Amino acid sequence: MARHINPSNSTNKTIDAIDRKRERERRFILNKARENASELAIRLVQRLLDDHIIETNDVQSIQEGVEKQLKAPADMDEFEVRLKIADIRTLVPDPNILSLYLTAYIIDDLINHPNIQDIFGDDLDIYNSVDSILGIIRPR
């Protein structure tokens, strides 16, 4: 199917503007998470415990793992982050990229952590718990 060429390129300008806005938001969130990783990890693990998402016998080691994951995406290529969240990217309509990344980490990797006894809830429950903490660093 042929694409109609718009002489004013207004469609392309709009798409480019949206892409630039998303990229700026992505960089802002990832850098803010790296700067505040320790505090966010403590709050996030506590929220996961309070919401009965995770069950663990060593909170400190889980916090260290989450802190490491909060710092990692800022140094990763966009492709690597997108690959990590590929299975759950359509979970919510306007997702927080970092919340998706941490949700994927919990579902795929944290479940195998030696100090995790069990993980409860579906993907959306986990995302909502994670985003309730990480949503505060998302610019509005």
For 64-70, which contacts have Cβ atoms below 8 Å and span 24 or more sequence positions? 65/110, 65/113, 66/41, 66/102, 66/105, 66/110, 67/37, 67/38, 67/40, 67/41, 68/37, 69/101, 69/102, 69/105, 70/33, 70/34, 70/37, 70/40, 70/41, 70/44, 70/98, 70/102
Averaged pLDDT of the chain: 90
pLDDT exceeds cutoff 70 at 93: yes
Token representation of residue 42? 């403590």
User: In the prediction, which pLDDT does 102 show?
Assistant: 96
Q: Residue 3 — very low, low, confident or very high, per pLDDT cuts 50/70/90?
A: low
pLDDT 10s digits, 33-59: 999 999 999 999 999 999 999 999 999
pLDDT 10s digits, 58-74: 999 999 999 999 999 98
* Average pLDDT of the residues in 118-137: 94
Model pTM score: 0.85
